[in-house]
Structure 1
Amino acid sequence: MSVLFDTSILIDILRNDPVALDYARRVQDVPACSEVTRVEVVRGLRSSERASTEGLFRTIRWVPVDEPIARRAGELGRRWDRHRPGISLADLVVAATTEHVEAELATTNVRHFPMFEGLQPPYVSD
């Protein structure tokens, strides 16, 4: 099964977290990311990180937010806002994208994604 990286994974890779780097090397397929993840990473980008970030971006299969993903994100928000208010729009889009491409979500922020029962982080950093 393919893997979709959440923002938390990309940030750990960009920070050269050895555990995250080891995990990323073990991923067999080209990882996917939602374009919303690109927005989140670029938003927090420092000028000195631009080159390494662009290099990482070139190794990822980017999934645009199209109508089916947008609709599913809205449905997830409507469903989960009753039980877990405060799930961000970005996390809803990432969840919908994960479902749309039939991938496994990789995130260290599992509490942001209650819609994936039994979700575990792919690694634990020191």
Structure 2
Amino acid sequence: MFSSGIFFFIPVGIVYGILTDFKELVGFPAILLVGLMSIMIGGYLFLHSRSIGRIAADSDDGEIADEAYEYGFYSPWSWWPLVIGVGAGICFFGMAVGFWIVPFGAVIALVGLVGLVFEYDRGNFAH
């Protein structure tokens, strides 16, 4: 699917270049590069799928239990991702309004990250 982008973007880029007499030097190369990036992504995905073969997720009637690996442990009731998100939001807000706000958001995000990492190291849920 990704590789088929070359059949659209390369001809459209050439037609675009012809219609603008190749004087507009932003759109023409950009459209050609999108076509080349689509073939690059498609080629990578093709080579990767050829090297790993079919997995249980590729089957229409596959079950979650068919996977051979463990997904990991994720805390279902953790509030720390919300704290990290608020800190990141304050950082982005600070980049838009004034950089003096960014350290406050970074501190909040860092506290949230430490809380998330060490959530199960103390209290009732300690390992």
Report the TM-score, using the length of structure 1 for normalisation.
Answer: 0.24
Q: Which has the higher helix share?
A: 2
Report the TM-score, using the length of structure 2 for normalisation.
Answer: 0.23
Q: Which protein has greater RCO, CA pairs closer than 8 Å, 6+ apart?
A: 1
